[in-house]
């Protein structure tokens, strides 16, 4: 196995399935050592890691719920110990709920939505900046403080609003858009780029978890390209934003939504 110090280290939260798994797989093919974070589905994450390793890549599966600060700290410490200095973060972990109007949402739903979809990415971005930024060498040692890239996975819902279904989810992703723009300006001088992708209707199982397994098929006619997208199509945008080809891109919100 290639030594961790020879590869740029990437953490993908919610990396065991969907867009996260496609991103981890593609990033490994492009030469990253990948930490695949998962909250509950260890089997999916371990299977992905085994697949990456079988193809000659380097990957580890690490459990943590990003909504819990103590678990986030444990997650980043594990990345430090098992792979080395972090150079990339993909804030992908997220949840949806069953379709509902705002006037039927309770506080428990809202707290879960914002804890995972907003607080979690903030905590992960904080820990990434601490390692990538100018104080990284002093705080963590050689190899740290060399800059890096953060890509937040937002959603086209942040500009569409998702009325009658997921206004809370859309609002959480709107917060991610704003965080992306502000953080990008805050850390640019330290060599850290921060961007977001905003997927549209993508064929993943997140729709089933929200009670709408046929959502992409049902809404595909509303997409100018007349189809749903794939997780790989989103992953390709994410990996581009992580890499040197996007070296002059920061604070960008990149729509991967088929024109919707």
Report whether pLDDT(126) > 90: yes
User: According to the model, what pLDDT value does residue 41 have?
Assistant: 96
Active site residues: 169
Place of tokens 């050689």: 142
DSSP codes of every residue in 63-130 = E--TTSHHHHHHHHHHHHHHT-SEEEEEE--------B-GGG--HHHHHHHHIIIIIHHHHHHHHHHH
Return the percentage of the chain with pLDDT > 70, whole number: 93
CB atoms within 10 A of CB 84: 20
Report whether pLDDT(113) > 60: yes
Q: Is 2 exposed, middle or buried (0-12, 13-18, 19+ CB in 10 A)?
A: exposed
DSSP state of 227: S
Select the CATH number that applies to the domain covering 4-256 from these four: 3.20.20.300, 2.60.120.620, 3.30.420.10, 3.40.50.720.
Answer: 3.40.50.720
Domain ranges within the chain, ordered by starting residue: 4-256
Report whether pLDDT(3) > 80: no
CA–CA separation, 210 vs 98, rounded Å? 4
Inter-residue contact 85 to 144 (CB < 8 Å): yes
pLDDT-based confidence at 207, cuts 50/70/90? very low
C-alpha neighbours within 13 Å on the C-beta side of residue 143: 14
Closest to 71 in 3D by CA, of 132, 34, 109, 119 = 119
Inter-residue contact 61 to 83 (CB < 8 Å): no
H or E element at residue 207: helix 206-209
- Residue pLDDT, tens place only, 22-31: 999 999 999 9
- Helices 42-54 and 18-29, interaxial angle, to 10°? 20
């Amino acid at each position: 196995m290639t030594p961790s110090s020879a590869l740029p280290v990437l953490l993908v939260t919610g990396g065991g399935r969907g867009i996260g798994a496609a991103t981890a797989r593609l990033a490994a093919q492009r030469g990253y050592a990948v930490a695949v974070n998962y909250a509950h589905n260890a089997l999916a994450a371990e299977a992905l890691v085994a697949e990456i390793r079988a193809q000659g890549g380097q990957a580890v599966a690490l459990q943590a719920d990003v909504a819990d600060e103590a678990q986030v700290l444990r997650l980043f410490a594990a990345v430090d110990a098992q792979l080395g200095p972090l150079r990339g973060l993909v804030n992908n972990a997220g949840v949806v709920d069953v379709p509902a109007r705002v006037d039927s949402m309770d506080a428990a739903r809202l707290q879960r939505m914002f804890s995972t979809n907003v607080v979690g990415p903030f905590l992960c971005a904080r820990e990434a900046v601490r390692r990538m930024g100018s104080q990284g060498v002093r705080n963590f040692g050689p190899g740290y403080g060399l800059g890096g890239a953060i890509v937040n996975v937002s959603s086209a819902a942040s500009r569409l609003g998702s009325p009658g279904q997921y206004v809370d989810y859309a609002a959480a992703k709107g917060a991610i858009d704003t965080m992306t723009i502000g953080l990008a300006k805050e850390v640019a001088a330290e060599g850290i780029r921060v961007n977001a992708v905003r997927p549209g209707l993508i064929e993943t199982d997140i729709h089933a978890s929200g009670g709408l397994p046929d959502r992409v098929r049902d809404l595909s006619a509303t997409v100018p390209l007349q189809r749903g997208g794939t997780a790989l199509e989103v992953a390709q945008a994410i990996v581009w934003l992580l890499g040197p080809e996007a070296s002059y891109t920061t604070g960008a919100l990149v729509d991967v939504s088929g024109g919707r």
